[in-house]
């Protein structure tokens, strides 16, 4: 563990190789930004369409660095009680009752606002961990702007101020990744504190490599055809274009079904793995189905 | 110039293009460069973009500016040092170029394009310039020369069945590769021009058109939404017409005194004056006819955004006649369902599909006559193309006179105003007309709008 802690990557190529070993094929600037994140101790804001591997990147980073992954899934209405910390009031009550007599007010008050009564939520847990962790704040765009503002202290100084306790500084330096589907514009203040990584759909060759990595038993010719078809489907104006995860699912589905080629019939049968809206299915069946015949 | 100064210069130019770069971003950029081996171009560019350009929009501007900035930096350094590639011997292709087999060259370039081999493209572009783009017979306008050379090379994206099977040109060349090849040609031509004239051409700001509002028939809704989302945020944070800002009620002294009689003259129960129903303050009229198809998607989403920010607002859409859609916007939150509802059941009375402004004004006047007061703002979104019908500017004038302020947003560039059936000048005396076809112009308008309503 100690060895893993000390082992910060020494070069961009190290990171690229490490991520690859963790089952994630970094494309374009991914490895470089990940490397900078570990060297500069700055959070990384990862944006891009749904399903291009933003969350996967965080998992792969955790595996590669040999760190624990602390994940905070954001949603509308998320507040600090669920993200930062909460006072364990049951325990506080018990404490007060246990010595109802005797102890003066001042003592009890001091007592019940100690770390002992603090429930650490993901963010506090991440910075107070003994060994450094990878902190993933997933879909930050789903929260309100107020929550974003609350994050600023954590992201720039790696500390949290608890009014009753004072400042809690990070005991270890986490690698922080924030992901966003760009459903709302994030504040400038947040962006300024982060490195920025834009992940887009991968190129043909890159996606082929990813599919081959996750479904090695699929013959290369089929994999290539699959990737080309997915690229074609993405070109169409769909409600939800297929993600990389769905290409992989499709590859696995073909393997399970034992198909050795994607012809029009196979495509129509298995299309629902990658296209998931009724209107989309009709459009894809029409356009791509024709191309296959 | 040292690298530091160059980077600061790059930052300056990015700011000039509207990318928000603070000192902290620049410091980050320097930090990042310290950590990586930046002698390689891609790493250098990636490290800078990770620290400087933090949205897809900014990223696009960054790539353009980066390309332009360092191209100019290299060329000006070369000029200073007096390096001339032609003199250095790399360019005796001028003579040799004539012996290059043009057919062979064409085939090779086509192959390189099909393979997407960037380095080879660059080499071949130089050869092609030597063979075809001899100085002297160029037009000296880079854009025209690029197209001339591309045509001479027979590079086309559509299939050319004359070629034998296996030749990439038979299927047509990939559009993306063609575009890249053109960019390389352009760079080489600019370099040649700089060497000829021994001076750098003036640096132009990125064309406004580059960032024009998305138009075209299948307007990119997502792009529209991004613009509008920004607009909405700006409106929400600019402190204008905050919801609930003036929530406090006025005490009705008379009724309070009367109620206090029950409690022996002590006013235990405080009575308030009844709250007046809110009066809509903004009236928006949006043209949704075919002549503004591309713009109306955009306008509708602007309407949508405005609805979120201004509570007192009534909206109307019109083609030949007018219909009110305030309710549609209030009932539904999602833009897509709204635009569907408007196009299907909001009942836009549309017989011919041609806008009839005269009729719209008279109907509008009937609809809102009693509500219009000097506190009202009327906004018209339309191109003022009447299809030859009577503009009835006098009715518009009476509407404008009753309202406090009247704005007109025209989605056409100023150049096209009053050409053909556009009659914007007939209305212009009664309202403030804004040209509105880029995001920046839209922002100007919103600033004008919110600046004066904040009273």
Locate the chain B residue with the closest alpha carbon to A183: B226
- Residue A73: pLDDT above 80? yes
User: What pLDDT does residue B177 have?
Assistant: 78
Query: A47 phi and psi, to 5 degrees?
Result: -120, 160
Is B176 near chain A, with CB under 8 Å? Answer: no
Say whether domain A2-78+121-198 belongs to CATH 3.90.850.10.
no
Burial B353-385 (b: 16+ CB within 10 A, else e): ebbbbbbbbbbbeebbeeebeeebbbbbbbbbb
Of the spans A24-28, B197-201, B271-275, which averages the highest pLDDT? A24-28
Q: What is the pLDDT of residue A102?
A: 64
For chain A, list residues whose CB is within 8 angstroms of any CB belonging to chain B: 11-12, 28-29, 32-33, 35-36, 39-40, 42, 45, 47, 182, 184-185, 188, 191-192, 194-198, 237
Collapsing DSSP to helix, strand or coil, B302 comes out as helix
The domain limits of chain A are 2-78+121-198, 85-120, 204-292
Predicted confidence at residue A136, as pLDDT, reads 93
Contact in structure between A197 and A47 (CB atoms under 8 Å): yes
| Distant-in-sequence contacts of B244-253, Cβ < 8 A, 24+ apart | B249/B273, B249/B275
What three-state secondary structure class fits B163? coil
Residue A44's closest chain B neighbor by CA?
B50
Q: Which of A71-75, A137-141, B97-101, B379-383 has the lowest mean pLDDT?
A: B97-101
Residue B34, min C-alpha distance to chain A (Å): 10
Query: Maximum CA pair distance of chain A?
Result: 88
Helix (H), strand (E) at residue B246:
none
**pLDDT the model gives residue B212:** 46
Residue B36: which of A32, A194, A237 has the nearest Cβ? A32
Q: Which residues pair with B380 in a beta bridge?
A: B285, B408
Q: Find the length of chain B.
A: 455
Pick the residue with more confidence: A286 or B200?
A286
Contact between residue B337 and residue B261 where contact means Cβ atoms under 8 Å apart: no
Tell whether the torsion through CA atoms of B224, B225, B227 and B228 is positive or negative: positive
Full DSSP string of B410-432:
E-S-GGGTTSTTB-HHHHGGGSE
State the Cα–Cα distance between residues B434 and B60, nearest whole angstrom: 27
Q: B275 pLDDT band (50/70/90 cuts)?
A: low
- The span from the CA of A16 to the CA of A23, in Å, is 11
Percent of all residues in chain A with a pLDDT value above 90, rounded to a whole number: 17
Better-scored residue on pLDDT, B78 or A142: A142
pLDDT tier for residue A197 given thresholds of 50, 70 and 90: very high
Rounded to a whole number of angstroms, the distance from the CA of A36 to the nearest CA of chain B is 6
Distance CA B17, CA B61 (A): 7
Distance in angstroms (rounded) separating the CA atoms of residues A158 and A171: 9
Residues B76-131 have pLDDT tens digits of 777 777 665 544 444 444 444 445 677 777 888 888 877 777 777 777 777 777 77
Q: Closest Cα of chain A to B149: distance in Å?
A: 29
Q: Which of B46, B221, B224 to mutate to test the interface with A (most CBs of A within 10 A)?
A: B46
Q: What is the mean pLDDT of residues B318-344?
A: 70
Name which of A119-133, A152-166, B206-220, B283-297 the model is least confident about: B206-220
Interval A165-188 mean pLDDT: 85
Size of interface A-B (CB pairs under 8 A): 62
Q: How far is it, in rounded angstroms, from Cα A124 to Cα B240?
A: 37
Average pLDDT over every residue of B15-33? 87
A52, A120 in Cβ contact below 8 A? no
What are the tens digits of pLDDT across the range B396-444? 888 888 887 888 888 888 888 888 788 888 888 888 888 877 766 776 7
User: Which positions 2-21 of B are in contact with A (Cβ < 8 Å)?
Assistant: 20
- Tell me the three-class secondary structure of chain A, residue by residue: CHHHHHCCCCCHHHHHHHHHHCCCCCCCCHHHHHHHHHHHCCCEEEECCCCCCHHHHHHHHHHHHCCEEEEEECCCCCCHHHHCEEECHHHHHHHHHHCCCCCCHHHHHHHHCCHHHEEECHHHHHHHCCCCEEEEEECHHHCCHHHHHHHHHHHHHCEEEECCCEEEECCCCCEEEEEECCCCCCCHHHHHCCEEEECCCCCHHHHHHHHHHHCCCCCHHHHHHHHHHHHHHHHCCCCCCCCHHHHHHHHHHHHHHCCCCCCHHHHHHHHHHCCCCHHHHHHHHHHHHHHHC
What is the per-residue pLDDT for A263? 82
Q: Are residues B55 and A185, on separate chains, in Cβ contact within 8 Å?
A: yes
- Under a CB-based contact definition with an 8 Å cutoff, are residues A211 and A249 in contact? no
* pLDDT over 70 (residue A189): yes
Q: Return the structure tokens found at B320.
A: 């030949």
pLDDT confidence of residue B355: 79
Residue B381 in tokens: 């979104």
The confidence score (pLDDT) of residue B208 equals 41
Question: Phi and psi (nearest 5°) for B273?
Answer: -70, 140
User: Quick check: A192 and B22 CB within 8 A?
Assistant: yes
Percentage of residues in chain B with pLDDT exceeding 90? Answer: 1
Among A163, A176, A205, which residue's Cα sits nearest to residue A72?
A: A176
- Is pLDDT larger for residue A65 or for residue A3? A65
pLDDT score for B209: 38
Average per-residue pLDDT for chain B? 73
Q: Are B324 and B316 in contact (CB under 8 A)?
A: yes
A39 CA to chain B: closest CA distance, Å?
A: 7
CA distance B260 to chain A (A): 44
pLDDT for the residue numbered A41: 87
Q: Whose structure tokens read 């012996």?
A: B99
How would you label A130-160 residue by residue, b for 16+ Cβ within 10 Å and e otherwise? eebbbbbbbbbbbbebebbebbeebbbebeb
Quick one: tokens of B327?
A: 């309710």
d(CA A223, CA A209): 9
- Over the stretch B116-146, which tens digit does the pLDDT of each residue have? 777 777 777 777 777 775 555 555 666 677 7
What values do phi and psi take at B32, rounded to 5? -65, -40
């Amino acid at each position: 563990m100690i060895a893993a802690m000390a082992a910060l990557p020494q070069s961009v190529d190290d990171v690229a190789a490490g991520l690859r070993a963790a089952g994630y094929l970094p494309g374009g600037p991914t490895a470089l930004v990940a490397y900078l994140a570990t060297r500069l101790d700055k959070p990384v804001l990862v944006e891009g369409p749904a399903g291009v591997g933003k969350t996967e990147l965080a998992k792969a980073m955790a595996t590669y660095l040999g760190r624990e992954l602390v994940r905070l899934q954001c949603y509308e209405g998320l507040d600090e009680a669920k993200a930062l910390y909460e006072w364990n009031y049951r325990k506080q009550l018990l404490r007060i009752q246990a010595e109802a007599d005797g102890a003066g007010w001042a003592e009890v008050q001091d007592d019940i606002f100690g770390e002992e009564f603090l429930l650490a939520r993901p963010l506090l847990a991440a910075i107070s961990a003994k060994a450094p962790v990878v902190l993933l704040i997933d879909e930050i765009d789903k929260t309100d702007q107020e929550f974003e503002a609350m994050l600023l202290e954590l992201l720039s100084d790696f500390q949290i101020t608890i009014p009753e306790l004072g400042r809690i500084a990070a005991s270890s330096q986490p690698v922080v990744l924030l992901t966003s589907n760009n459903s709302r514009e994030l504040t400038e203040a947040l962006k300024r504190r982060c490195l920025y990584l834009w992940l887009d759909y991968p190129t043909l060759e890159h996606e082929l490599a990813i599919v081959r990595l996750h479904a090695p038993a699929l013959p290369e010719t089929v994999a290539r055809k699959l990737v080309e078809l997915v690229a074609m489907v993405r070109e169409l104006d769909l409600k939800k274009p297929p993600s990389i995860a769905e290409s992989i699912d499709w590859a696995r589905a073909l393997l399970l079904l034992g198909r050795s080629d994607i012809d029009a019939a196979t495509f129509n049968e298995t299309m629902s793995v990658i296209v998931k809206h009724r209107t989309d299915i009709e459009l894809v069946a029409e356009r791509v189905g024709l191309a296959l015949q | 110039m040292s690298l530091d100064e160059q980077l600061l210069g790059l930052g300056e130019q990015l700011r000039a293009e509207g990318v928000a770069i603070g000192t902290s971003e620049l410091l980050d950029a320097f930090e990042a460069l310290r950590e990586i081996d930046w002698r390689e171009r891609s790493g250098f560019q990636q490290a800078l973009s990770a620290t400087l350009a933090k949205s897809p929009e900014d990223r696009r501007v960054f790539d353009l500016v980066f390309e332009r900035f360092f191209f100019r930096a290299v060329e000006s350094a070369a000029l200073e040092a007096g390096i001339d590639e032609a003199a250095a011997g790399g360019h005796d292709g001028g003579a040799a170029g004539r012996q290059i087999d043009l057919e062979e060259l064409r085939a090779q370039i086509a192959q390189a394009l099909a393979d997407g081999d960037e380095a080879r493209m660059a080499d071949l572009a130089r050869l092609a310039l030597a063979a075809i783009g001899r100085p002297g017979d160029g037009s000296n306008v880079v854009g025209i020369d690029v197209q001339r050379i591309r045509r001479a090379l027979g590079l086309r994206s559509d299939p050319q069945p004359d070629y034998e099977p296996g030749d990439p040109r038979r299927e047509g060349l990939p559009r993306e590769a063609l575009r890249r090849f053109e960019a390389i040609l352009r760079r080489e031509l600019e370099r040649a021009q700089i060497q000829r004239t021994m001076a750098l051409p003036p640096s132009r700001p990125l064309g406004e058109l580059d960032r024009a509002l998305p138009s075209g028939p299948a307007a990119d809704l997502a792009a529209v939404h991004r613009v509008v989302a920004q607009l909405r945020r700006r409106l929400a944070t600019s402190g204008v017409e905050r919801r609930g800002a003036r929530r406090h009620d006025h005490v009705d002294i008379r009724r309070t005194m009367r109620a206090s009689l029950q409690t022996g003259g002590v006013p235990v129960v405080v009575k308030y004056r009844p709250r007046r129903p809110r009066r809509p303050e903004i009236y928006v009229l949006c043209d949704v006819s075919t002549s503004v198809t591309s713009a109306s998607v955009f306008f509708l989403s602007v309407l949508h955004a405005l609805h979120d920010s201004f509570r007192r607002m009534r909206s109307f859409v019109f083609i030949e006649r007018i219909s009110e859609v305030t309710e549609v916007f209030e009932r539904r939150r999602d833009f897509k369902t709204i635009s569907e509802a408007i196009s299907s059941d909001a009942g836009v009375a549309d017989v011919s599909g041609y806008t009839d402004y005269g009729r719209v004004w008279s109907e509008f006047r009937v609809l809102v006559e009693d509500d219009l007061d000097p506190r009202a703002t009327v906004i018209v979104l339309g191109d003022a193309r009447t299809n030859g019908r009577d503009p009835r500017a006098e009715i518009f004038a009476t509407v404008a006179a009753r309202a406090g302020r009247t704005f007109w947003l025209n989605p056409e560039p100023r150049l096209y105003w009053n050409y053909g059936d556009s009659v914007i000048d007939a209305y212009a005396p009664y309202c403030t007309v804004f040209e509105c076809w880029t995001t920046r112009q839209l922002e100007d308008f919103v600033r004008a709008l919110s600046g004066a309503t904040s009273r």
